[in-house]
Amino acid sequence: MNEALRIGVAGLGTVGSGTLAILQGQAELLAARAGRRLEVVAVSARSRTKPRPVPIDAYRWYDDPLQLAADPALDVVLELMGGEDGVALEVTRAALAAGKSVVSANKALLAHRGGELARLAEANGAVLAFEPAVAGGIPIVKALKEGLAGNRVRRVYGILNGTSNYILSTMRATGRDFADVLAEAQALGYAEADPSFDVDGIDAAHKLALLAAIAFGVEPAFDQVHVEGIRQVAATDIAYAEELGYRIKLLGIAEATDHGLAQRLHPCMVPATSPIGQVEGVFNAVVAEGDAVGVATFVGRGAGDAPTGSAVVADLMDLARGHRSHAFGVPSATLATARITPISERRGAYYLRLTVDDRAGVLADVATCLREQNVSVETMIQRHRATDQPVPIVLTTHEADEAAMREALRAIAALRAVREPPRALRIETL
Protein backbone atom coordinates (compact mmCIF):
# COMPACT_ATOMS: atom_id res chain seq x y z
CA MET A 1 0.00 0.00 0.00
CA ASN A 2 1.14 3.56 -0.68
CA GLU A 3 2.23 5.95 2.04
CA ALA A 4 -0.54 7.16 4.33
CA LEU A 5 -2.19 10.55 3.86
CA ARG A 6 -1.14 12.39 7.03
CA ILE A 7 -3.84 14.55 8.55
CA GLY A 8 -3.89 17.31 11.16
CA VAL A 9 -7.20 18.34 12.67
CA ALA A 10 -7.69 21.92 13.89
CA GLY A 11 -10.93 22.04 15.87
CA LEU A 12 -12.55 19.15 17.74
CA GLY A 13 -16.12 20.32 18.10
CA THR A 14 -19.10 18.59 16.53
CA VAL A 15 -17.59 18.33 13.06
CA GLY A 16 -14.11 17.41 14.27
CA SER A 17 -15.44 14.64 16.48
CA GLY A 18 -17.74 13.36 13.72
CA THR A 19 -14.83 13.27 11.31
CA LEU A 20 -12.57 11.40 13.73
CA ALA A 21 -15.36 8.89 14.42
CA ILE A 22 -15.52 8.03 10.71
CA LEU A 23 -11.75 7.97 10.26
CA GLN A 24 -11.38 5.69 13.29
CA GLY A 25 -14.42 3.50 12.69
CA GLN A 26 -14.00 3.03 8.93
CA ALA A 27 -10.19 3.04 8.70
CA GLU A 28 -9.96 -0.29 6.84
CA LEU A 29 -12.75 0.49 4.40
CA LEU A 30 -11.29 3.91 3.59
CA ALA A 31 -7.80 2.47 3.11
CA ALA A 32 -9.15 -0.22 0.80
CA ARG A 33 -11.00 2.37 -1.28
CA ALA A 34 -8.19 4.91 -1.46
CA GLY A 35 -5.32 2.46 -1.76
CA ARG A 36 -3.62 4.11 1.22
CA ARG A 37 -4.42 4.81 4.84
CA LEU A 38 -5.90 8.06 6.07
CA GLU A 39 -3.83 8.64 9.18
CA VAL A 40 -4.58 11.32 11.75
CA VAL A 41 -1.24 12.53 13.07
CA ALA A 42 -2.03 15.63 15.11
CA VAL A 43 -4.96 17.51 16.62
CA SER A 44 -5.56 20.90 18.16
CA ALA A 45 -8.51 22.33 20.09
CA ARG A 46 -9.26 24.74 22.92
CA SER A 47 -9.28 22.04 25.59
CA ARG A 48 -7.28 18.84 25.62
CA THR A 49 -9.16 17.27 28.53
CA LYS A 50 -12.77 18.04 27.68
CA PRO A 51 -14.79 14.79 27.45
CA ARG A 52 -15.20 13.80 23.78
CA PRO A 53 -17.09 11.02 22.02
CA VAL A 54 -13.84 9.86 20.35
CA PRO A 55 -10.39 9.11 21.83
CA ILE A 56 -7.61 11.54 20.87
CA ASP A 57 -4.73 10.21 23.01
CA ALA A 58 -3.01 8.57 20.06
CA TYR A 59 -2.51 11.91 18.29
CA ARG A 60 0.13 14.59 18.71
CA TRP A 61 -1.46 17.49 20.61
CA TYR A 62 -1.07 21.19 19.84
CA ASP A 63 -2.49 23.95 22.03
CA ASP A 64 -1.88 26.33 19.14
CA PRO A 65 -3.45 25.43 15.79
CA LEU A 66 -0.85 27.57 14.02
CA GLN A 67 1.82 25.20 15.29
CA LEU A 68 -0.22 22.29 14.00
CA ALA A 69 -0.39 23.99 10.59
CA ALA A 70 3.40 24.23 10.63
CA ASP A 71 3.95 20.54 11.49
CA PRO A 72 6.11 19.20 8.61
CA ALA A 73 4.69 15.70 9.07
CA LEU A 74 1.28 16.72 7.70
CA ASP A 75 -0.05 16.52 4.13
CA VAL A 76 -3.39 18.08 4.93
CA VAL A 77 -4.94 20.29 7.59
CA LEU A 78 -8.64 20.16 8.46
CA GLU A 79 -9.88 23.62 9.42
CA LEU A 80 -12.90 22.80 11.57
CA MET A 81 -12.74 25.76 13.95
CA GLY A 82 -14.91 28.36 12.23
CA GLY A 83 -14.82 32.15 12.35
CA GLU A 84 -14.67 34.49 9.38
CA ASP A 85 -11.12 35.67 10.10
CA GLY A 86 -8.72 35.53 13.06
CA VAL A 87 -7.02 32.25 13.82
CA ALA A 88 -9.03 30.28 11.24
CA LEU A 89 -7.71 32.57 8.51
CA GLU A 90 -4.16 32.40 9.86
CA VAL A 91 -4.19 28.60 10.05
CA THR A 92 -5.60 28.26 6.54
CA ARG A 93 -3.09 30.70 5.10
CA ALA A 94 -0.18 29.09 6.97
CA ALA A 95 -1.05 25.58 5.85
CA LEU A 96 -1.59 26.54 2.20
CA ALA A 97 1.53 28.70 2.10
CA ALA A 98 3.49 25.67 3.31
CA GLY A 99 2.05 23.58 0.48
CA LYS A 100 -0.31 21.59 2.69
CA SER A 101 -3.81 21.03 1.43
CA VAL A 102 -6.72 22.29 3.52
CA VAL A 103 -10.18 20.85 3.94
CA SER A 104 -12.35 23.60 5.37
CA ALA A 105 -15.82 23.52 6.91
CA ASN A 106 -15.61 27.28 7.34
CA LYS A 107 -18.23 28.82 5.06
CA ALA A 108 -17.91 32.27 6.63
CA LEU A 109 -14.19 32.47 5.93
CA LEU A 110 -14.53 31.11 2.40
CA ALA A 111 -17.51 33.29 1.50
CA HIS A 112 -15.38 36.34 2.35
CA ARG A 113 -11.93 35.21 1.26
CA GLY A 114 -12.38 32.14 -0.90
CA GLY A 115 -10.82 33.70 -3.99
CA GLU A 116 -7.68 34.81 -2.16
CA LEU A 117 -7.30 31.41 -0.47
CA ALA A 118 -7.87 29.50 -3.71
CA ARG A 119 -5.09 31.54 -5.35
CA LEU A 120 -2.80 30.88 -2.41
CA ALA A 121 -3.49 27.14 -2.66
CA GLU A 122 -2.72 27.04 -6.38
CA ALA A 123 0.40 29.14 -6.03
CA ASN A 124 1.76 26.59 -3.55
CA GLY A 125 0.66 23.40 -5.28
CA ALA A 126 -1.92 22.70 -2.57
CA VAL A 127 -5.62 21.90 -2.72
CA LEU A 128 -8.33 23.88 -0.97
CA ALA A 129 -11.46 21.76 -0.57
CA PHE A 130 -14.71 22.62 1.24
CA GLU A 131 -17.41 20.02 0.75
CA PRO A 132 -18.34 20.24 4.49
CA ALA A 133 -18.87 24.01 4.25
CA VAL A 134 -22.02 23.77 2.12
CA ALA A 135 -25.15 21.82 3.07
CA GLY A 136 -23.35 19.41 5.43
CA GLY A 137 -23.58 15.86 4.16
CA ILE A 138 -25.03 16.69 0.72
CA PRO A 139 -22.16 16.31 -1.77
CA ILE A 140 -23.21 19.41 -3.69
CA VAL A 141 -19.75 20.94 -4.16
CA LYS A 142 -18.56 17.81 -5.89
CA ALA A 143 -21.83 17.53 -7.82
CA LEU A 144 -21.46 21.05 -9.25
CA LYS A 145 -17.71 20.84 -9.88
CA GLU A 146 -17.66 17.34 -11.32
CA GLY A 147 -20.98 15.61 -11.93
CA LEU A 148 -22.51 18.67 -13.58
CA ALA A 149 -19.30 20.00 -15.15
CA GLY A 150 -20.78 19.58 -18.63
CA ASN A 151 -23.62 21.96 -17.94
CA ARG A 152 -24.12 25.67 -18.19
CA VAL A 153 -25.97 26.30 -14.94
CA ARG A 154 -28.91 28.68 -15.22
CA ARG A 155 -29.93 28.65 -11.58
CA VAL A 156 -28.93 27.00 -8.33
CA TYR A 157 -31.09 27.35 -5.26
CA GLY A 158 -31.85 25.65 -2.02
CA ILE A 159 -32.67 25.39 1.63
CA LEU A 160 -29.24 25.94 3.14
CA ASN A 161 -29.92 26.26 6.85
CA GLY A 162 -31.45 23.43 8.84
CA THR A 163 -32.25 25.49 11.93
CA SER A 164 -34.40 27.96 9.97
CA ASN A 165 -36.11 25.17 8.10
CA TYR A 166 -36.84 23.40 11.37
CA ILE A 167 -38.36 26.60 12.79
CA LEU A 168 -40.50 27.28 9.70
CA SER A 169 -41.61 23.64 9.52
CA THR A 170 -42.56 23.59 13.20
CA MET A 171 -44.42 26.89 12.86
CA ARG A 172 -46.42 25.36 10.00
CA ALA A 173 -47.11 22.10 11.81
CA THR A 174 -48.16 23.71 15.10
CA GLY A 175 -49.46 27.16 14.16
CA ARG A 176 -47.11 28.71 16.72
CA ASP A 177 -45.21 31.97 16.34
CA PHE A 178 -41.55 32.42 15.44
CA ALA A 179 -40.39 33.56 18.90
CA ASP A 180 -42.09 30.65 20.62
CA VAL A 181 -40.63 28.02 18.29
CA LEU A 182 -37.17 29.60 18.40
CA ALA A 183 -37.20 29.53 22.22
CA GLU A 184 -38.11 25.86 22.14
CA ALA A 185 -35.42 25.08 19.56
CA GLN A 186 -32.87 26.80 21.80
CA ALA A 187 -34.06 24.87 24.87
CA LEU A 188 -33.70 21.61 22.92
CA GLY A 189 -30.23 22.60 21.73
CA TYR A 190 -31.16 22.78 18.02
CA ALA A 191 -30.52 26.50 17.80
CA GLU A 192 -27.57 28.40 19.21
CA ALA A 193 -28.03 30.76 22.17
CA ASP A 194 -27.19 33.48 19.63
CA PRO A 195 -29.29 32.27 16.71
CA SER A 196 -28.66 35.26 14.46
CA PHE A 197 -26.42 33.50 11.91
CA ASP A 198 -29.13 30.91 11.38
CA VAL A 199 -32.37 32.90 11.54
CA ASP A 200 -31.07 36.11 9.96
CA GLY A 201 -29.92 34.21 6.89
CA ILE A 202 -26.20 34.85 7.26
CA ASP A 203 -25.10 31.22 7.48
CA ALA A 204 -27.20 30.29 4.46
CA ALA A 205 -25.93 33.33 2.54
CA HIS A 206 -22.34 32.21 3.13
CA LYS A 207 -23.20 28.87 1.56
CA LEU A 208 -25.05 30.50 -1.32
CA ALA A 209 -22.01 32.65 -2.14
CA LEU A 210 -19.95 29.44 -2.39
CA LEU A 211 -22.49 27.65 -4.56
CA ALA A 212 -22.73 30.69 -6.85
CA ALA A 213 -18.95 30.83 -7.17
CA ILE A 214 -18.79 27.24 -8.38
CA ALA A 215 -21.90 27.33 -10.54
CA PHE A 216 -20.98 30.59 -12.30
CA GLY A 217 -17.19 30.70 -12.07
CA VAL A 218 -17.15 33.89 -10.01
CA GLU A 219 -15.21 34.99 -6.97
CA PRO A 220 -17.28 34.20 -3.86
CA ALA A 221 -18.58 37.47 -2.49
CA PHE A 222 -20.80 37.39 0.56
CA ASP A 223 -21.40 41.13 0.42
CA GLN A 224 -23.08 40.73 -2.97
CA VAL A 225 -25.80 38.48 -1.57
CA HIS A 226 -29.09 40.17 -0.71
CA VAL A 227 -29.97 38.75 2.73
CA GLU A 228 -33.25 38.69 4.65
CA GLY A 229 -33.94 36.28 7.53
CA ILE A 230 -37.08 34.70 8.94
CA ARG A 231 -37.76 36.78 12.06
CA GLN A 232 -40.59 38.64 10.31
CA VAL A 233 -42.39 35.51 9.12
CA ALA A 234 -45.69 35.39 11.00
CA ALA A 235 -47.75 32.32 11.80
CA THR A 236 -50.64 33.93 9.95
CA ASP A 237 -48.57 34.19 6.73
CA ILE A 238 -47.70 30.52 7.01
CA ALA A 239 -51.40 29.69 7.34
CA TYR A 240 -52.30 31.83 4.31
CA ALA A 241 -49.48 30.22 2.34
CA GLU A 242 -50.97 26.83 3.10
CA GLU A 243 -54.39 28.01 1.95
CA LEU A 244 -52.91 29.31 -1.32
CA GLY A 245 -51.01 26.08 -2.03
CA TYR A 246 -47.57 27.33 -0.93
CA ARG A 247 -45.05 26.80 1.83
CA ILE A 248 -42.70 29.43 3.21
CA LYS A 249 -39.04 28.51 2.93
CA LEU A 250 -35.83 30.41 3.55
CA LEU A 251 -34.35 30.02 0.09
CA GLY A 252 -30.97 30.94 -1.33
CA ILE A 253 -31.13 31.58 -5.06
CA ALA A 254 -28.27 32.30 -7.47
CA GLU A 255 -29.33 32.81 -11.05
CA ALA A 256 -28.00 34.15 -14.29
CA THR A 257 -30.09 37.09 -15.51
CA ASP A 258 -29.92 39.17 -18.69
CA HIS A 259 -27.88 41.73 -16.76
CA GLY A 260 -25.61 39.64 -14.56
CA LEU A 261 -25.84 37.36 -11.57
CA ALA A 262 -28.55 37.59 -8.92
CA GLN A 263 -27.72 36.20 -5.48
CA ARG A 264 -30.48 36.47 -2.93
CA LEU A 265 -31.39 34.79 0.31
CA HIS A 266 -34.82 35.45 1.77
CA PRO A 267 -38.01 33.78 2.94
CA CYS A 268 -40.39 33.14 0.07
CA MET A 269 -43.42 31.12 -0.92
CA VAL A 270 -42.76 28.02 -2.99
CA PRO A 271 -45.36 25.60 -4.37
CA ALA A 272 -46.21 23.14 -1.57
CA THR A 273 -45.90 20.22 -3.97
CA SER A 274 -42.48 21.24 -5.37
CA PRO A 275 -39.46 19.17 -4.26
CA ILE A 276 -38.23 22.13 -2.20
CA GLY A 277 -41.68 22.65 -0.69
CA GLN A 278 -41.60 19.11 0.60
CA VAL A 279 -38.30 19.46 2.46
CA GLU A 280 -39.14 19.83 6.12
CA GLY A 281 -37.39 19.85 9.50
CA VAL A 282 -33.63 20.16 9.73
CA PHE A 283 -33.03 18.90 6.20
CA ASN A 284 -31.26 20.90 3.51
CA ALA A 285 -31.89 20.71 -0.21
CA VAL A 286 -30.13 22.08 -3.28
CA VAL A 287 -31.52 22.23 -6.79
CA ALA A 288 -29.26 22.81 -9.78
CA GLU A 289 -30.75 23.65 -13.16
CA GLY A 290 -28.39 22.89 -16.02
CA ASP A 291 -28.86 23.20 -19.76
CA ALA A 292 -28.03 19.56 -20.35
CA VAL A 293 -29.19 17.78 -17.20
CA GLY A 294 -32.37 19.78 -16.64
CA VAL A 295 -33.25 19.86 -12.95
CA ALA A 296 -31.19 17.91 -10.41
CA THR A 297 -32.35 17.90 -6.78
CA PHE A 298 -30.20 16.93 -3.77
CA VAL A 299 -31.71 16.48 -0.30
CA GLY A 300 -30.01 15.50 2.94
CA ARG A 301 -28.77 16.46 6.35
CA GLY A 302 -27.11 19.86 6.33
CA ALA A 303 -25.50 19.75 9.75
CA GLY A 304 -24.43 17.45 12.53
CA ASP A 305 -21.36 15.44 13.39
CA ALA A 306 -21.72 12.41 11.14
CA PRO A 307 -23.24 14.10 8.04
CA THR A 308 -20.66 16.91 8.04
CA GLY A 309 -17.93 14.41 8.92
CA SER A 310 -19.03 12.44 5.86
CA ALA A 311 -18.32 15.51 3.71
CA VAL A 312 -14.90 16.08 5.31
CA VAL A 313 -13.94 12.46 4.65
CA ALA A 314 -15.12 12.74 1.04
CA ASP A 315 -12.61 15.55 0.50
CA LEU A 316 -9.90 13.55 2.28
CA MET A 317 -10.59 10.57 0.03
CA ASP A 318 -10.09 12.78 -3.02
CA LEU A 319 -6.73 13.89 -1.66
CA ALA A 320 -5.75 10.33 -0.76
CA ARG A 321 -6.60 9.16 -4.28
CA GLY A 322 -4.65 12.01 -5.84
CA HIS A 323 -7.76 13.67 -7.27
CA ARG A 324 -7.01 17.35 -7.36
CA SER A 325 -9.42 20.05 -8.41
CA HIS A 326 -9.54 23.82 -8.27
CA ALA A 327 -11.37 25.12 -5.22
CA PHE A 328 -14.18 26.68 -7.25
CA GLY A 329 -13.99 24.41 -10.28
CA VAL A 330 -11.92 26.77 -12.46
CA PRO A 331 -8.33 27.97 -12.14
CA SER A 332 -8.52 30.69 -9.52
CA ALA A 333 -6.89 33.25 -11.82
CA THR A 334 -9.94 33.01 -14.08
CA LEU A 335 -12.56 33.57 -11.36
CA ALA A 336 -14.59 36.51 -12.59
CA THR A 337 -15.99 39.37 -10.57
CA ALA A 338 -19.73 38.93 -10.91
CA ARG A 339 -21.82 41.69 -12.40
CA ILE A 340 -24.55 41.78 -9.79
CA THR A 341 -28.22 42.00 -10.59
CA PRO A 342 -29.67 43.92 -7.62
CA ILE A 343 -32.79 42.68 -5.83
CA SER A 344 -34.67 45.72 -7.17
CA GLU A 345 -34.48 44.05 -10.61
CA ARG A 346 -36.09 40.84 -9.44
CA ARG A 347 -39.18 40.03 -11.46
CA GLY A 348 -41.79 37.67 -10.07
CA ALA A 349 -45.04 37.25 -8.18
CA TYR A 350 -45.70 38.56 -4.67
CA TYR A 351 -47.89 37.79 -1.68
CA LEU A 352 -49.18 40.80 0.26
CA ARG A 353 -51.00 40.89 3.58
CA LEU A 354 -52.58 44.15 4.64
CA THR A 355 -54.39 45.04 7.83
CA VAL A 356 -57.06 47.58 6.97
CA ASP A 357 -60.23 49.26 8.19
CA ASP A 358 -63.21 47.39 6.84
CA ARG A 359 -65.09 50.13 5.00
CA ALA A 360 -66.15 51.09 1.49
CA GLY A 361 -63.43 52.24 -0.88
CA VAL A 362 -60.41 50.76 0.91
CA LEU A 363 -59.97 47.99 -1.61
CA ALA A 364 -60.30 50.48 -4.45
CA ASP A 365 -57.54 52.63 -2.89
CA VAL A 366 -55.26 49.60 -2.57
CA ALA A 367 -56.03 48.61 -6.15
CA THR A 368 -55.13 52.14 -7.31
CA CYS A 369 -51.71 51.92 -5.62
CA LEU A 370 -51.07 48.64 -7.41
CA ARG A 371 -52.42 49.84 -10.76
CA GLU A 372 -50.20 52.93 -10.69
CA GLN A 373 -47.18 50.64 -10.53
CA ASN A 374 -48.57 48.29 -13.17
CA VAL A 375 -48.95 45.45 -10.65
CA SER A 376 -51.76 43.05 -11.51
CA VAL A 377 -53.64 41.11 -8.81
CA GLU A 378 -54.06 37.37 -9.22
CA THR A 379 -56.03 36.35 -6.10
CA MET A 380 -57.56 38.08 -3.11
CA ILE A 381 -58.81 36.82 0.25
CA GLN A 382 -60.77 38.91 2.75
CA ARG A 383 -62.76 37.57 5.65
CA HIS A 384 -63.11 37.68 9.46
CA ARG A 385 -65.36 40.72 9.50
CA ALA A 386 -65.74 42.01 13.06
CA THR A 387 -67.25 45.41 13.82
CA ASP A 388 -64.69 48.15 14.46
CA GLN A 389 -61.75 45.77 14.07
CA PRO A 390 -59.22 46.07 11.26
CA VAL A 391 -59.36 43.09 8.89
CA PRO A 392 -56.67 41.29 6.91
CA ILE A 393 -56.65 41.45 3.12
CA VAL A 394 -54.41 38.95 1.38
CA LEU A 395 -53.42 39.40 -2.25
CA THR A 396 -51.19 37.58 -4.64
CA THR A 397 -49.95 39.32 -7.76
CA HIS A 398 -48.94 38.33 -11.24
CA GLU A 399 -45.30 38.88 -12.19
CA ALA A 400 -44.14 42.37 -11.29
CA ASP A 401 -40.86 44.24 -10.92
CA GLU A 402 -39.54 44.40 -7.36
CA ALA A 403 -38.88 48.13 -7.68
CA ALA A 404 -42.49 48.71 -8.75
CA MET A 405 -43.78 46.50 -5.96
CA ARG A 406 -41.78 48.47 -3.40
CA GLU A 407 -43.26 51.72 -4.69
CA ALA A 408 -46.75 50.24 -4.52
CA LEU A 409 -46.13 49.06 -0.94
CA ARG A 410 -44.93 52.51 0.07
CA ALA A 411 -48.12 54.03 -1.30
CA ILE A 412 -50.30 51.36 0.34
CA ALA A 413 -48.58 51.83 3.69
CA ALA A 414 -49.39 55.55 3.51
CA LEU A 415 -53.16 54.99 3.08
CA ARG A 416 -55.13 56.08 6.15
CA ALA A 417 -57.13 52.87 6.25
CA VAL A 418 -53.99 50.71 6.37
CA ARG A 419 -53.38 50.04 10.05
CA GLU A 420 -50.12 48.06 10.09
CA PRO A 421 -47.06 47.96 7.84
CA PRO A 422 -47.96 45.72 4.87
CA ARG A 423 -46.29 42.31 4.84
CA ALA A 424 -44.87 41.10 1.52
CA LEU A 425 -43.28 37.85 0.49
CA ARG A 426 -41.85 36.88 -2.86
CA ILE A 427 -43.42 33.90 -4.60
CA GLU A 428 -40.90 31.77 -6.46
CA THR A 429 -41.75 29.65 -9.47
CA LEU A 430 -39.75 26.46 -9.15
Binding site for ligand HSE (CB under 6 A): 161-163, 198, 203, 302-303
Identify which of residues 161 and 310 has a Cβ nearer to ligand HSE in the complex. 161
Q: Please report how close the Cβ of residue 190 comes to ligand HSE at its closest, in angstroms.
A: 8
Give the nearest distance from C-beta 278 to ligand HSE in angstroms: 18
174, containing H or E segment: helix 162-174
Q: Which is nearer to ligand HSE, 107 or 172 (CB)?
A: 107
Is 50 designated active site? no
Q: How many CA atoms lie within 13 Å of 193's alpha carbon, on the beta-carbon side?
A: 0
CB nearer ligand HSE, residue 154 or residue 231: 231
For ligand HSE, give the closer residue by CB, 161 or 170.
Answer: 161
Dihedral sign for Cα 26, 70, 325, 15, please.
Answer: positive
Min dist CB 414 to ligand HSE, Å, is 38
Among 100, 142, 207, 249, the active-site one is 207
The b/e string for 25-47 (b: 16+ C-beta within 10 A; e otherwise) is eeeeebbeebebbbbbbbbbbee
Helix axes 362-372, 402-413, angle to 10 degrees: 150
C-alpha–C-alpha distance, residues 219 and 331, integer Å: 11
Please report how close the Cβ of residue 46 comes to ligand HSE at its closest, in angstroms: 19
- Strand duo 128-129 + 60-62: pairing: unpaired
- At 381 the three-state DSSP class reads strand
Identify whether the C-beta of residue 128 lies closer than 8 Å to the C-beta of residue 118. yes
CA dist., res. 158 & res. 284, Å (int): 7
Quote the least distance from Cβ 397 to ligand HSE, whole Å: 31
Nearer to ligand HSE, 207 or 226 (CB): 207
Three-state SS at 356: strand
Query: Which residues are part of the catalytic machinery?
Result: 207
